[in-house]
Amino acid sequence: MAVADRAQGFIIGSGSRCVTVENPLVLAPMAGVCDMPYRLICKEMGCGLVYTEMISAMGLKYGDRNTLKILEMSEDERPVAAQVFGSDPEVVAYGARIMETKGADLIDINMGCPVPKVVRSGEGCALMRRPDLAARIVERVKASVDVPVTVKIRKGWDDLTANAVEFARACVEAGADAVAVHGRTRSQGYSGKADWNVIAEVAAAVSVPVIGNGDVVEPEDAVRMLELTGCAGVMIGRGAMGNPWIFRRALHCLRTGETPAEPSPAERIGLALRHLDMAVAFKGEKVASKEMRKHLAWYIRGLRGAARMREVINSCPDSASLRRAMEGYLDAFGASC
């Protein structure tokens, strides 16, 4: 693949039901991480497509206020995919319709979440053990909305029953416009190494764009995944936590073949503080000051004194004290962090 070709985007869907993604970099739908402020930051950094956190179809059915808050979107983050999870085809389709009315550019169905409380309800990756039900869900959602419908899956439930290729084919036959594949099984969770071979196998087996996911933590990883798997897009999850610069750096690497320098401590802390302000404006003081502790700790990961600083962050009761702590940290360590 020529350097100039690596940064090309892709199209999800067809005709009037299509979404153009300007470059191959995608933000994964991480619960408790990908709220609107963070999606906006990743978009600024060059991310081609952002996903919401996964949203309960049942919560949408019953109009849960917290669920609807997760669904809030901004014009500045488009295109944005809203991810729904559930196991009842009618309920998931109902949730998808609400997502469309709220402005989602595409609907993604979560069929890969490994969290025990999700799979115990027959949702997330549990659907990979019931491909017929998964196909019915895709069919009902596809018939219910006028935007592209995609699915996010894993390699399989475990290594003995790994069925990503057959499962992806069934979802595409049911109407899925793209498939995101995490190269781990449900049994692995987030441990071990992601199998990029299965991403390549799915990409070769279906006629829709495939988005690869797993172990992309450096800009060069995005390049390698595109080259080795033939996928259309690269989804970045944990590699983007506290590190939205990975999109800017990966895009530069894709376009030029060169890897730019990492952000300075001052840039990292400066963006962390802007993220804090955006979160307070979006969620309010009480919720934001609590939720931003983990984000701020991620922003300073690897800097000198970060372990002690995490303790300070976790003891801060409000956003003002968080800001003072972060500003004091930068003043104390400066460019030597």
Residues taking part in catalysis: 113
Distance CA 228, CA 220 (A): 12
DSSP letter at 11? E
For the four alpha carbons of 267, 7, 73 and 189, in that order, the dihedral sign comes to negative
HSE (CB half, 13 Å, CA atoms) of 191? 4
Residues in the chain: 337
3-state secondary structure of 104: coil
Decide: 12 and 177 in contact? Cβ < 8 Å.
yes
DSSP letter at 147? S
Distance CA 164, CA 245 (A): 31
DSSP letter at 77? G
Cα–Cα distances (Å) from 15 to 12, 19, 147, 192, in that order, read: 10, 10, 10, 40
